[in-house]
Amino acid sequence: MTDIQNKSIQTFLDELASKSATPGGGSASALMGAQGAALISMACHLTIGKPQYTEVEAQMQRLLEKAEALRAELTLLIKADIDVFNRLMAAYRLPKDTEAEKSARSEAIQAILKDATEVPLACAQACREVMALSQIAVEKGSVGVVSDAGAAAMSAYSGLKTAALNVYINTGGLKDRDFSTAKLAELAAILNGADESVEAIFQQVKAKL
């Protein structure tokens, strides 16, 4: 089977729109994050080498490296979300006729729900980092690509919020309350200030246009 990132945009959108449960919101969230990271890289590429921006060239080079690492991570997460969701669906289909089967099925579901919490949590973290990088791109990058740096922030923000919804849904099914409380606390820390930050970046970009 072709890995999701090697499918065309049209096919991805068709599969997203289809009856099939995967790809769904989780993959969409990772793609939004990856797109945000890519837009930061673009802003860096179009700043580096410009005579007016030699002062920030080293900083833009580091920004580019970080954005590319996050883009690679988020691109993998498009597929990771599909994989963990398919594993979860398979666990739900396990037999539950005997007490032993019921217990084995429940254990399998609970184990996979933990993975299904970690995947969007990693996505949320990476998207938040993309937002932080976009702030630097907006402030220090070429003014010619400031709207692309702003687009990066918007895209990563929606990836973050969508990932958050996926953490909520999967922790909701978890019996291990200590685990889910810990993960929800991690998520809350990641989300902290994101709404204000994206609005500030939007206004900052608008003011530069």
CB neighbours (10 Å) of residue 158?
A: 18
Is residue 67 within 8 Å of 76, Cβ to Cβ? no
Least distance (Å) between residue 204 CB and a second copy:
11
Least distance (Å) between residue 99 CB and a second copy:
27
Q: What is the CA radius of gyration of the chain?
A: 19
Q: Does 34 bind a second copy (CB under 8 A)?
A: yes
Of 61, 199, 40, nearest to 134 by C-alpha is: 40
Q: Quickly list DSSP for 123-139.
A: HHHHHHHHHHHHHHHHH
The residues, ordered by sequence, that sit 6+ positions from 138 with a Cβ below 8 Å of its Cβ are 146, 149, 150, 153, 201, 204, 205, 208
Q: Does 9 bind a second copy (CB under 8 A)?
A: yes
Number of residues in contact with a second copy under rule CB under 8 A: 58
Q: Does 172 bind a second copy (CB under 8 A)?
A: yes
Is residue 37 within 8 Å of 81, Cβ to Cβ? no
Q: Does 39 bind a second copy (CB under 8 A)?
A: yes
CB neighbour burial string for 42-75, b if at least 16 within 10 angstroms, e if fewer: bbbebbbeeeebeebeebbeebbebbeebbebbb
Q: Does 174 bind a second copy (CB under 8 A)?
A: no
Least distance (Å) between residue 111 CB and a second copy:
21
Q: Which stretch binds a second copy (CB under 8 A): 98-106, 129-137, 146-154, 178-186?
A: 146-154
Q: Which of 116, 122, 151, 174 binds a second copy (CB under 8 A)?
A: 151
Summarize as ranges the residues that interact with a second copy (CB under 8 A): 4-10, 12-14, 16-19, 21, 24-25, 28-29, 31-32, 34-35, 37-39, 41-42, 45-46, 67-68, 71, 75, 78, 145, 147-148, 150-152, 154-155, 157-158, 161-162, 165-166, 168-169, 172, 195, 199, 202, 205-206, 209
